[in-house]
A and B are shown apart, each in its own frame.
Chain A
Amino acid sequence: MPKIEPEAMVGAKITNLSLRRWLHSLPGVDKVGLEARAASLGTRSIKTTSKAWALDAAIKMMDLTTLEGMDTPDRVRSLCLKAMTPDPTDPDCPSPAAICVYGDMVQVAKQALGKSGIYVAAVATAFPSGRASVAVKLQDTKDAVKAGADEIDMVIDRGAFLSGNYLEVYKQIQAVKNACVRSDGTTAHLKVILETGELQTYDNIRRASYLAMLAGGDFIKTSTGKVTVNATIPITLLMLQAVRDWYDQTGVLIGIKPAGGIRTAKDAIKYLVVVKEVAGEQWLTPDLFRFGASSLLNDVLMQRQKLKTGNYSGPDYVTVD
């Protein structure tokens, strides 16, 4: 994959001023048009074989998540078991792409998942607020990588972003990216959480997306799931436009991860439609698209059972996690 030359992209030496010029030269977002497009794509009807494909795809693209203060090693283990055997009545049921946990649970998850091929993603950098010194954030990341995390979900410093200190945000992402390098030279995959619910405007979300891509994020992720407004379809659509345009411009493929508030199979399928229509089918793979979700899996499993048996399923027929 081609490498990005940040200075060539921005057209100047990277300073706060040049970043500001570059980000603010991006076209403004047409709010009405964006929301109308998102709403119209959401009305698509996906049935029978397409639906079966979409449900399986949604599972394969899922980061099954538990990010609670009350997470225990046993809870993480049971979630890992669920990821390995989502539907005990159907051995053909695919597994989620990854388990997403706090850094201190990485080892537990790694051990429980064994050679199943399911990745472990860890949130780092003082998730969810990101309010800690850079040294602490980097150590947080290094600890998770050392414990074996395959993917790191970092949060950007929203305070710095909103006060116009783009250079600080940029530098932090780069520093975390460097902290993702393992001792053997390989790198943990970096997802950059923009926390769109705190960025106030669509224009800011577009700018934050470009800033994260410029700084070297492998994925841009909407939210932590810990604020009032989490992933929405218009926001995901906007970010999909950003990764699509970035690919056209640079040839670099960046992934997208909407997270938080996606609870039903119906919602998940709407997202898949948007991905296909906005970014293209190329993005319909776990390498480039993920859902961050916890309760979504059970709903998708119930819909799978409905398709298979013809009967409506219920929560008694999926595991409680």
Chain B
Amino acid sequence: MRLDIKKTYKLYIGGKFPRSESGHTFELASAKGEFVANVVLASRKDARDAVVAARAAQPGWESATAYNRGQILYRIAEMLEGRREQFVDEIRELTGSTEKAANQEVDAAIDSWVWHAGWSDKVDSVAGSMNPVAGPYFNISTNQPTGVVAAFAPQQSSLVGLVNTIAPIIVTGNTVVVVASELLPLSAITLTEVLATSDLPGGVVNVLTGKESDMAPWLASHQDVNAVDLEGTSDPVDLEIRAADTLKRVVRPGTFSRSAAKGSLQQILAFMEVKTVWHPKGH
């Protein structure tokens, strides 16, 4: 008889899989209340390290062509498809849902990656504009990524909510530090293994597991974070006040639905800044 090899669940920061700086973990229970795994309890210092990694990766990811970013997002969908069974098993173990429901969730997550991948080279055609001005100028507005985003995935969703949080942020060239659902983190950790093998540069997506309340205040007040997605947070008002000190973009909880196989253009644009250029055109 052989022994099962138990998996060690770790963080995903800068393309690597570190343990927490603090060494703390918490016990994760299944839907039936049984012990599943020890999951890393990330500390504020892990969040700080993740922001450093996200900042370092941001200029390179932004300067990749939209076409290339789209290809990488599509690649993530491909890799996710290949590990479907693992995701289904993990979702069922933690939520107790039926095989059909779990499969539907994985389907939706894969389709969402593809839906977002398609937007990478189309956002600007749809949301940018050529503005009429009184003078001999081209006046062009384009959308630029905001920069480093701290996001809190919805608490009640294993996978599709997480994907619908990450994809709209990174598709345009932002990088993200995402805090996974506290009670349903397995899909997030398995997703990092997908991301690590999808040509996605290290640091574009950084995933932390643990208590949202341990990290949220630090990320909301962090001066090197440009936007926060407060979806999965428990005290969004306090966080919005902290975020206001550094003029961060804020997405409040419940602003966007995150359960469908497609997202919304508005959510993609929530993490972009409009840049307008005047260019002389002669007569």
Q: Which residues of A are interface residues toward B (Cβ below 8 A)?
A: 305, 310-317
Contacts and interface: CB of A to CB of B under 8 A. Distances in A.
Contact of A315 (B221, B222, B224): B224
Nearest to A317: B223
A317 B223 CA distance: 8
A311 B246 CA distance: 10
A312 B222 contact: yes
16 contacts: A305-B223, A311-B218, A311-B221, A311-B223, A311-B246, A312-B48, A312-B223, A312-B224, A313-B223, A313-B224, A314-B51, A314-B222, A314-B223, A314-B224, A315-B55, A316-B223
B245 interface: yes
B51 A312 contact: yes
> Interface majority SS on B: helix, strand, loop or mixed?
loop
Interface residues of B, number: 11
Given A311-B222, A316-B223, 17 more contacts: A305-B223, A310-B221, A311-B245, A311-B246, A312-B218, A312-B221, A312-B222, A312-B223, A312-B224, A313-B223, A314-B222, A314-B224, A314-B225, A315-B55, A315-B224, A316-B224, A317-B223
Interface in B219-252: 221-225, 245-246
Nearest to A312: B222
A313 B225 CA distance: 9
The 5 closest A-B pairs by CB, nearest first: A314-B224, A311-B221, A312-B222, A314-B223, A313-B223
Query: In this complex, which of A313, A314, A315, A316 has the most chain B Cβ atoms within 10 angstroms of its Cβ?
Result: A314
Contacts of A305: 223
| Interface SS, A side | loop
Nearest to B47: A312
A311 B224 CA distance: 10
Contacts of B218: 311-312
Nearest to A315: B224
A314 B55 contact: yes
Contacts of A312: 48, 51, 218, 221-224
Interface in B47-83: 48, 51, 55
A54 B51 CA distance: 24
Contacts of B51: 312, 314
Contacts of A315: 55, 224
A313 B218 CA distance: 11
User: Which of B218, B221, B224, B245 counts the most chain A CB atoms within 10 A?
Assistant: B224
A316 B223 CA distance: 8
A305 B245 CA distance: 15
Query: Most B CB atoms within 10 A — which of A310, A313, A316?
Result: A316
B69 to A, nearest CB: 24
A135 B225 CA distance: 55
Interface string B124-136: 0000000000000
B77 to A, nearest CB: 33
B147 to A, nearest CB: 9
A242 B225 CA distance: 45
A316 B55 CA distance: 11
A45 to B, nearest CB: 12
Among A312, A313, A315, A316, the one with the most B-chain Cβ atoms within 10 Å of its Cβ is A312
Contacts of B221: 310-312
Contacts of A317: 223
Contacts of B245: 311
